[in-house]
Amino acid sequence: MNYRNTWAEINIAAIKHNIRQLKGILPNGHKAMIVVKANGYGHGSVQVAQAAVEEGIDFLVVALLEEAVTLRQAGIHTPILVIGRVAPQYAHVAARHNITLTVFDLAWINVVEQEQLNNPLSIHLEFETGMNRTGIRTKEQLTEIVHAVKRQKQLNITGAYMHFATADEIGTEQYDAQKNHYETMLQKLVKLYPDQLITHIGNSAAGIQYPEEMLHYTRFGVATYGLYPSKAIKALETVELEQALSLYSELIQVKQIKAGDAVSYGATYRAEADEWIGTIPIGYADGWRRKLQNFHVLINGKKMPIVGRICMDVMMVKLDQPYEVGQQVTLIGTDYKQTIRMDDVAEYLETINYEIPCMLTDRIPRYYV
């Protein structure tokens, strides 16, 4: 039930292209995990996961248990890892759906030990190596956790991983220090728990910058969607990515205002001369933030500035001429020979490109092309 004249188009072919590019830089025998958390970075987790599976991906990553269950309910049977902490009282949900959980504290295991799981639960241990977010910090903590797992039959350690803090920068000491610490912790784990394990350390940035140093799997997130983790990573020219999301709307009113007339709340913009103003049905409730005032959109391949404060549901742009109601407007994407990239929006908002597709709310319908 979509009646809106504002919409996003997700290019599945671009996502598949990006996956092939990313798989292609990994050493033989190494594999890619595709991260579809946050509704596939705003692109649609189910649709992206289906595309990934069609490209031979055999492991998916999400942040929330709900996200993993959504994939299972959509008929996706590929292994899934939840990298966020799931409260131990919901471990039975993960076990029932064959979802792998992340574990990094002894108390969690002690609670699960008192629960009755209908199926064994696979877990990956997360190591804290310098990100200081979550993870097992010391060998002593690791030893306690492994011994706690061994004394019960409900949990199986099937993998281990970490997160790099500075992989989007080129050649940092932090990267080397984290990698070395992880390898030390991994050696300890293998001695304590010699069962078959998989291990993954790299995100998009690490995988693109150091593909030969990645382990069994590399977790490709933002690059899957055609976005480079940083300008420095893009400059390496290791992979050629295609942006998968475009955002469109249309003019719903066109009017001429007089010199001195104000536009929108607070009268922050006043026309210096007689001007044509177009109204577009997208606003901050859709995730198109108020700070984007004075940014631009594309109409007929020409840049039109956003004038006045962006409202909850609409915004206004200054037109170079009168256009018909229904004229298409490009907010992200290509119009004739002009392009607005996620990076352009991110730079204007003084943030990272990761945030741009994630900030677009579910009021905006997604269409898959």
Which residues are tagged catalytic?
37, 265
- Nearest residue to 162 via CA among 148, 147, 177: 177
Burial of 118 by CB count in 10 Å (0-12 exposed, 13-18 middle, 19+ buried)?
Answer: exposed
Do residues 154 and 120 lie in contact, with contact meaning Cβ atoms separated by under 8 Å?
yes
CB distance 218 to 207 below 8 Å: yes
Burial class for 123, CB neighbours closer than 10 Å (0-12, 13-18, 19+): buried
16, two tokens: 């598949």
Q: Is residue 252 within 8 Å of 67, Cβ to Cβ?
A: no
Q: How many CB atoms lie within 10 A of CB 265?
A: 11
Phi-psi region of 81 (alpha: psi -120 to 50; beta: other; left: phi over 0): beta
Q: State the Cα–Cα distance between residues 202 and 42, nearest whole angstrom.
A: 22
Alpha-carbon torsion (41, 46, 52, 55), positive or negative: negative
Q: Which residue has the tokens 């190591």?
A: 127
Joined together, the tokens standing for residue 93 give 């949900």
